[in-house]
């Protein structure tokens, strides 16, 4: 039988892989993908809580509504974020975070 | 049998996630992420969240990842493959990721309710879309309007960022 | 409950098996050609090929794709509303539901009007 802990551990594992990716990779687009992965990992734990916290045989639907909203916000975030990346690429001809050092000095 | 399916899809999800950060080609990363998202959708369906699983496939893989692939095609991203890896960043990333994993494992291990299995669900007449819709449109009315405002601001942001000359 | 997924499994097996069978068949039946770097290069009237083979898209496509994602989300919210509409309209929460969706679509309509006014959907410019 699959327990709640296994779902939570899987969620933590996916989240830490995403976190590692954000720090290791230097391409902005891949960093953005890793952010999406972290959001999805959080969604997994929310849905697991919704299912395992079922009261009287009814799952906690509020948690699933929260997942719904997170997916929506993620989509809006991706649309605007990718627009920013395209604008950045037009200005600098690069999508590497190492090249975005205008504000450093 | 459900247990075997859980481990199968969990393995696929973790493999896909590793693929995202290991592949140097952004297109391969995007396809690994699609595999990961589809496995997560399968896990959602295993958790009896059918509508959320559908949304995961429709929105994440159907819209968001298409947009990612589109941008990768739009921009010329050959340069990163030739760039050497930054060793300091790799070490810092692995350290942070492992630290987070260990910390959250300890927290999860001490979670008293965590060891129990899935409670039995009552058999419902319709699908979970009914229940979910009822909760969204009665208890979550205000967040829904906020989401609408957020989407409008996203529209404005996209138009302003993408159009060269507005009129 | 798990038996309900057998059609899905069958479809995955058929789709994957077909792709695999085609790949294996083409590998078994086809003769392997002699390849060299010059033979594999793109043919450009005897000239040496210059630049990349990948064509770049116009940014116009991209703006439409972004707007598609945003309005796709709106449709995702419309779906549970439409499914519930008939059963909810008779209960006392019915009017709340109608007004909540009217507000949601109304606010998004402002965004649509903005995109339209700014010429985001004009193709010719």
pLDDT at B79 exceeding the cut of 60: no
Per-residue tokens: A82: 């990718």
| Size of the B and C interface in Cβ pairs below 8 Å | 128
> Which chains would you list as touching C if contact means 3+ CB atom pairs under 8 Å?
A, B
Q: Which of A71, A72, A86 faces C62 most closely, judged by CB atoms?
A: A86
DSSP state of B57: I
* Helix%, strand%, coil% for chain B, nearest 5: 80, 0, 20
Q: Considering chain A, what is the average pLDDT of its residues? A: 88
Q: Which of C61, C76, C105 faces B58 most closely, judged by CB atoms?
A: C76
Q: What is the CATH number of the domain that holds A68?
A: 1.10.287.3510
What gap in Å lies between CA B47 and CA B139, rounded to an integer? 23
Give the pLDDT band of residue A22 (cuts 50, 70, 90).
very high
Q: Which residues 53-112 of B are in CB contact (within 8 Å) with C?
A: 55, 58-59, 62-64, 66-67, 70-71, 73-74, 76, 78
pLDDT at C110: 92
pLDDT digit string, tens, across residues C97-112: 888 889 999 999 999 9
Residue spans of the domains in chain C: they are: 57-125
- Write the CB contacts of A16 (distance below 8 Å, at least 6 apart in sequence): B97, B98, B100, B101, B104
Q: At A27, phi and psi to the nearest 5?
A: -85, 130
- On whether residue A105 sits in a domain, the answer given is no
> Nearest residue of B to residue A42 by CA position?
B40
Check: CB of residue A97 under 8 Å from CB of residue C101: no
When divided into structural domains, chain A yields a total of 1
pLDDT at B130 exceeding the cut of 80: yes
> Which range marks the domain in which residue A85 is found?
4-96
| Size of the A and B interface in Cβ pairs below 8 Å | 247
pTM score: 0.86
> Which chains would you list as touching B if contact means 3+ CB atom pairs under 8 Å?
A, C
What gap in Å lies between CA B20 and CA A37, rounded to an integer? 9
* Complex ipTM value: 0.91
pLDDT digit string, tens, across residues B14-59: 999 999 998 888 889 999 999 999 999 999 988 888 899 999 998 8
Per-residue tokens: B45: 């369906």
B115 at A interface, C-beta within 8 A:
yes
- On whether residue A32 sits in a domain, the answer given is yes
Is residue A55 classed as helix, strand or coil in its secondary structure?
A: strand
């Amino acid at each position: 039988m699959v327990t709640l802990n296994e779902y939570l551990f899987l969620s933590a594992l996916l989240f830490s892989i995403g976190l590692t990716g954000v720090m290791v990779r230097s391409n902005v687009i891949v960093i953005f993908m890793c952010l999406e992965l972290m959001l999805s990992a959080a969604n997994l734990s929310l849905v697991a809580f919704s299912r395992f916290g079922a009261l009287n045989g009814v799952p906690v639907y509020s948690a699933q509504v929260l997942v719904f909203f997170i997916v929506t916000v993620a989509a809006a975030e991706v649309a605007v974020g990718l627009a920013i990346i395209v604008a950045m690429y037009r200005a600098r001809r690069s999508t590497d975070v190492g090249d975005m050092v205008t504000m450093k000095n | 049998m459900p247990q075997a399916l859980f481990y199968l899809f969990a393995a696929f999800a973790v493999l896909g996630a590793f693929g995202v950060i290991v592949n140097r080609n952004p297109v391969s990363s995007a396809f690994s992420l699609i595999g990961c998202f589809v496995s997560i959708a399968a896990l959602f369906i295993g958790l009896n969240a059918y509508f959320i699983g559908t949304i995961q496939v429709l929105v994440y893989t159907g819209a968001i990842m298409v947009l990612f692939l589109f941008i990768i095609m739009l921009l010329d991203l050959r340069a990163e493959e030739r760039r050497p890896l930054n060793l300091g960043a790799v070490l810092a990333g692995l350290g942070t990721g492992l630290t987070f994993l260990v910390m959250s494992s300890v927290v999860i291990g001490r979670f008293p309710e965590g060891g129990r299995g899935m409670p039995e669900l009552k058999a419902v007449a319709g699908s979970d879309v009914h229940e979910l819709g009822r909760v969204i449109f009665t208890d979550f009315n205000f967040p829904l309007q906020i989401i609408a405002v957020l989407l409008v601001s996203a529209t404005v942001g996209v138009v302003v960022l993408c159009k060269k000359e507005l009129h | 409950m798990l038996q309900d997924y057998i059609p899905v499994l069958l479809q995955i097996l058929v789709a994957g098996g077909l792709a695999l069978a085609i790949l294996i068949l083409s590998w078994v039946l086809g003769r392997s050609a002699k390849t060299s770097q010059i033979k594999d290069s793109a043919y450009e009237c005897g000239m040496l090929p210059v630049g990349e083979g990948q064509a770049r898209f116009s940014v116009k496509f991209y703006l439409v794709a972004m707007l598609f994602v945003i309005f796709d989300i709106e449709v995702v919210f419309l779906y549970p509303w439409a499914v519930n509409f008939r059963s909810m309209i008779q209960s006392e929460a019915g009017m709340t539901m109608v007004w909540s969706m009217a507000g949601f679509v109304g606010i998004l309509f402002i965004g649509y009007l903005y995109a339209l006014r700014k010429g985001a959907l004009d193709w010719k410019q």
